[in-house]
């Protein structure tokens, strides 16, 4: 089902690549084990296989390149490290969010939770999960789209034996149902028992590719694992008895050619304290040259033929955005408690600003300031600042907790995802403005005389201006967080409107030019509609509000952020094409291939 041909990672600072010319197959109905110690290149090989880091080589799924698949998650599910989910999100909420991204029914989340045994703790937050629970949730995410293949990167590392046995059983069950499994690990005995074939990596090279049964017979030997503070003394005593002893560390030894009972009797006779005594099997060869020497003795080619003709650069393809982006964004944004403190804080600050306005006098305050609770001491209305923070969180949290494509990180340049964030953010900003206006009017009614409280229905232009200001701030937060990849800089861009953009507009245009701009807009409207200047009513007032330095500064900032976002998208695609080396006319030569 999956063919990896010539996978080679990029070398850095004149160091050899972590993976070099690696080729293997993962077949349907089989578990393929990838064995190697830490630093042997297993994780790098899997990331190259999945297109998660640049390099050379080709990954074929049923004969088709991986990057040409419309929905790779429907073909391959992967567990690479911990689940990158928001710590305050529940397991069910996390999976339902991904169901919206993958276009799956929400009931699929409950199915995989039951499959991995997390249905009883589905509402617990991810921050409370143990290591075993986190690995089970990672498997649930990998199985969400009914993939035909599973790729598991050392999923049993640091797990208890019971949890490790569950992972191996799941791999066998998935293969028995016709799927393909690539299981990476460090325990040679466990991989030999679970896998149908075993691949051995050392220094980024494939040094063995054998059937698991043959691997177990030829590469593994039974031994006795011993751990004791007096391990070296015990090793000397056993060596005097003609037993082969290999020191694993200062307190650990491996004893070959005897039984645990015999080792225990020797330790008992000599008064040696034992902390561990267990029958196990150990890989008798842990260096690449010894693998090759052993293969030569058996007349096998342990190292496959080098495929020097495979020189095509590996493409790290762009990942598609969510299938249902609006549903995904709603569940991502409001599936945690973070937005609600922001909303309540914005409302509280708006009430305090309204109280300040009531004390200084509402009669001399514009309807826009009175209805939005915009005290002169504040650079922006509290509702606009809150909307800007909600917008900044939309991409800021996604960069911090990249759950959309585990291992890849989020896709900030997906146009559908950006539009969904802008739409959801605009709706949230308008709703926040409406609630803040209602609260502010109610507070004003309690603090000042009834006749001095502005009637919202009599000031639609002021209401529209307040809502437009909140939406603009929200969009500025979204775009700035997408460009700068952090919530803090997204909110800083919103605050830069009154602090930087407004002074810049005033310096460029000045007071008389701003007044002329408003008059010109009103005059243009009168010509278009055939009404006298000054008779445009609300439209004229709206044009004058739009000509204010704050709105012009916000429009200027949005234009700059849109250009920056487009530039980052073009730069990303150019880097992608450079990494692939593929132009419109064909394949570009690799460095060193010219001439």
> Is residue 476 located within the same domain as residue 350?
yes
Q: For 74-183, where are the alpha helices, taking DSSP H only?
A: 91-102, 107-115, 131-143, 161-176
> Is residue 394 located within the same domain as residue 533?
yes
> Is residue 160 located within the same domain as residue 102?
no
> Is residue 134 located within the same domain as residue 156?
no
> Is residue 379 located within the same domain as residue 475?
yes
* Model confidence pLDDT, tens digit, residues 326-367: 999 999 999 888 899 999 999 999 999 888 887 777 656 777
Please return the burial class of 112, using the count of CB atoms within 10 Å of its CB with bins 0-12, 13-18 and 19+. Answer: buried
| 56/19 Cα distance (integer angstroms) | 10
Residue 21 belongs to a domain: no
Q: What mean pLDDT comes out for the span 313-326?
A: 63
* Geometric angle at alpha carbon 495, from 494 and 501, rounded to 5°: 85
538 neighbors 461 (Cβ within 8 angstroms)? yes
Q: What mean pLDDT comes out for the span 218-236?
A: 86
The answer on pLDDT for 423 being more than 50 is: yes
> Is residue 256 located within the same domain as residue 364?
no
Could you tell me the two tokens for 563? Answer: 């250009």
Boundary residue ending a domain (106, 128, 146): 146
Residue 354 belongs to a domain: yes
pLDDT band at 214 (very low <50, low <70, confident <90, very high): confident
| 184/181 Cα distance (integer angstroms) | 10
Domains of the chain: total: 4
Boundary residue ending a domain (131, 146, 161): 146
The answer on pLDDT for 184 being more than 90 is: yes
> Worst-scoring range by mean pLDDT, 194-203, 304-313, 395-404?
304-313
Looking at residue 289, its pLDDT comes to 40
| 72/51 Cα distance (integer angstroms) | 10
The answer on pLDDT for 316 being more than 70 is: no
140 neighbors 115 (Cβ within 8 angstroms)? yes
416 neighbors 324 (Cβ within 8 angstroms)? no
> Is residue 343 located within the same domain as residue 436?
yes
| 325/414 Cα distance (integer angstroms) | 10
Looking at residue 187, its pLDDT comes to 85
Residue 335 belongs to a domain: yes
Residue 120 belongs to a domain: yes
Contacts of 72 (CB under 8 A, 6+ apart): 50, 51, 66, 319
> Is residue 355 located within the same domain as residue 420?
yes
Range of the structural domain that residue 255 is part of? 220-283
| 100/113 Cα distance (integer angstroms) | 16
> Is residue 96 located within the same domain as residue 68?
no
Looking at residue 516, its pLDDT comes to 45
Please choose, from the candidates 124, 208, 191, the residue with its C-alpha nearest in 3D space to the C-alpha of residue 156.
191
pTM: 0.76
pLDDT band at 428 (very low <50, low <70, confident <90, very high): very high
Residue 593 belongs to a domain: no
* Model confidence pLDDT, tens digit, residues 106-137: 999 999 999 999 999 999 999 999 999 999 99
163 or 524, which is more confident: 163
CATH number at residue 227: 3.30.70.980
> Is residue 161 located within the same domain as residue 132?
no
Residue 22 belongs to a domain: no
Boundary residue ending a domain (231, 251, 283): 283
Residue 545 belongs to a domain: yes
| 157/153 Cα distance (integer angstroms) | 9
The answer on pLDDT for 27 being more than 80 is: yes
> Worst-scoring range by mean pLDDT, 67-76, 147-156, 319-328, 570-579?
570-579
Looking at residue 575, its pLDDT comes to 63
Looking at residue 422, its pLDDT comes to 94
Contacts of 261 (CB under 8 A, 6+ apart): none
Looking at residue 387, its pLDDT comes to 93
Question: How large a percentage of the chain has pLDDT more than 70?
Answer: 78
Looking at residue 363, its pLDDT comes to 54
Q: What mean pLDDT comes out for the span 561-578?
A: 76
**Gyration radius from the chain CA atoms:** 32
290 neighbors 202 (Cβ within 8 angstroms)? no
Q: What mean pLDDT comes out for the span 261-267?
A: 92
> Worst-scoring range by mean pLDDT, 151-160, 191-200, 368-377?
368-377
CATH number at residue 62: 3.40.50.300
The answer on pLDDT for 529 being more than 70 is: no
Bridge-partner residues for 78, per DSSP? Answer: 151
Residue 291 belongs to a domain: no
pLDDT band at 18 (very low <50, low <70, confident <90, very high): confident
> Is residue 252 located within the same domain as residue 130?
no
Contacts of 361 (CB under 8 A, 6+ apart): none
543 neighbors 523 (Cβ within 8 angstroms)? no
> Is residue 278 located within the same domain as residue 351?
no
């Amino acid at each position: 089902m999956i063919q990896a041909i010539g996978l080679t990672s990029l070398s850095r600072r004149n160091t050899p690549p972590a993976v070099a010319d690696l080729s293997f197959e993962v077949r349907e109905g089989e578990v393929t084990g990838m064995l190697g110690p830490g630093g042997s290149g297993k994780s790098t090989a899997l990331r190259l296989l999945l297109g998660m880091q640049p390099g050379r080589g080709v990954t074929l799924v049923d004969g088709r390149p991986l990057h040409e698949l419309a929905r790779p998650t429907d073909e391959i599910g992967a567990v690479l490290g911990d689940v990158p989910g928001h710590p305050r999100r529940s397991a069910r909420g996390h999976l339902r969010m991904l169901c919206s991204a993958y276009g799956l029914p929400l009931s699929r989340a409950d199915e995989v939770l039951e499959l991995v045994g997390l249905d009883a703790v589905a509402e617990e937050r991810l921050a409370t999960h143990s290591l075993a629970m986190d690995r089970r949730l990672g498997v649930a995410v990998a199985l969400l789209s009914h993939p035909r293949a599973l790729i598991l990167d050392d999923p049993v590392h640091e797990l208890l034996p019971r949890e490790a046995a569950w992972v191996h059983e799941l791999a066998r069950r998935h293969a028995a149902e016709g799927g393909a499994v690539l299981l990476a690990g460090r325990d040679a005995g466990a991989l030999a028992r679970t896998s149908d074939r075993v691949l051995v990596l050392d220094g980024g090279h494939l040094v063995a590719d054998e059937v698991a049964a043959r691997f177990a017979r030829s590469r593994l030997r039974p031994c006795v694992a011993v751990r004791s503070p007096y391990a070296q003394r015990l090793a000397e005593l056993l060596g005097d008895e003609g037993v082969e002893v290999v020191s694993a560390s200062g307190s650990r030894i491996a004893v070959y050619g005897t039984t645990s009972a015999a080792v225990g009797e020797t330790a008992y006779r000599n008064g040696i304290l034992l902390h561990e005594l267990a029958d196990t099997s150990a890989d008798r060869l842990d260096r690449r040259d010894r693998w090759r020497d052993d293969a030569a003795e058996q007349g096998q080619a342990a190292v496959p033929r080098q495929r020097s003709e495979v020189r095509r650069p590996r493409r790290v393809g762009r990942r598609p955005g969510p299938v249902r982006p609006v549903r995904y964004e709603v569940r991502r944004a409001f599936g945690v408690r973070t937005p609600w403190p922001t909303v309540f804080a914005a409302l509280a600050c708006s009430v305090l600003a309204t109280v300040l306005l009531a004390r200084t006098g509402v009669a001399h305050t514009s309807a826009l300031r009175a209805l939005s609770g915009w005290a002169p001491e504040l650079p922006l209305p509290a509702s606009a600042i809150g909307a800007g923070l909600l917008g900044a969180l939309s991409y800021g949290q996604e960069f911090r907790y990249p759950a959309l494509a585990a291992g890849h990180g989020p896709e900030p340049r997906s146009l559908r995802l950006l539009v969904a964030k802008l739409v959801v953010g605009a709706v949230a900003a308008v709703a926040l403005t409406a609630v803040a206006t209602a609260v502010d009017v109610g507070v004003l009614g309690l603090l000042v005389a009834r006749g001095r409280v502005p009637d919202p229905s009599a000031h639609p232009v002021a209401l529209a201006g307040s809502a437009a200001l909140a939406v603009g701030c929200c969009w500025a937060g979204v775009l700035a967080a997408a460009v700068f990849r952090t919530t803090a800089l997204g909110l800083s861009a919103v605050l830069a409107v009154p602090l930087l953009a407004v002074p810049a507009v005033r310096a460029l245009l000045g007071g008389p030019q701003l007044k002329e701009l408003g008059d010109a807009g009103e005059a243009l409207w009168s010509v278009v509609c055939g009404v006298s200047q000054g008779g445009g009513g609300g439209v004229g007032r709206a044009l004058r509000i739009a000509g204010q330095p704050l709105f012009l500064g916000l429009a200027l900032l949005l234009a700059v952020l849109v250009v920056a976002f487009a530039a980052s998208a073009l730069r990303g695609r150019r880097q992608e094409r450079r990494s692939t080396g593929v132009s419109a006319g064909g394949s570009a030569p690799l460095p060193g291939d010219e001439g």
